[in-house]
């Protein structure tokens, strides 16, 4: 069964490192990291610095089904 992830909540945190699984975009480093969560429990992170974005893939968190 296929599932299309949809953002159910998001929060901004301080930038701390490149996003795992994303194609590195150094211009996106240094500002904020947006952490998005799907209703299924998967999360996706994106480093954002102005118009520069380094977006990761949806990953299921440990313990989520």
Residue pair 25/31 in contact (Cβ under 8 Å)? The answer is no
Query: Within a domain: residue 37?
Result: yes
Residue pair 24/46 in contact (Cβ under 8 Å)? The answer is no
Q: Hey, is 42 helix, strand or coil?
A: strand
Domain that holds residue 31: 7-56
Tell me the per-residue pLDDT of 11-61, one tens digit each, with 9 for 90 and over: 999 999 999 889 999 999 999 999 999 999 999 999 999 999 999 999 987
Query: Within a domain: residue 23?
Result: yes
Domain tally for the chain? Answer: 1
More confident residue, 30 or 1: 30
Query: Within a domain: residue 61?
Result: no
């Amino acid at each position: 069964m296929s599932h299309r992830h949809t953002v159910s909540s998001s929060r901004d945190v301080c930038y701390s490192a490149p996003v795992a699984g994303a194609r590195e975009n150094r211009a996106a480093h240094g500002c904020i990291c947006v952490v998005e969560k799907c209703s299924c429990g998967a999360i996706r992170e994106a480093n954002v610095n102005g118009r520069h974005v380094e977006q990761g893939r949806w990953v299921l968190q440990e313990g989520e089904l």
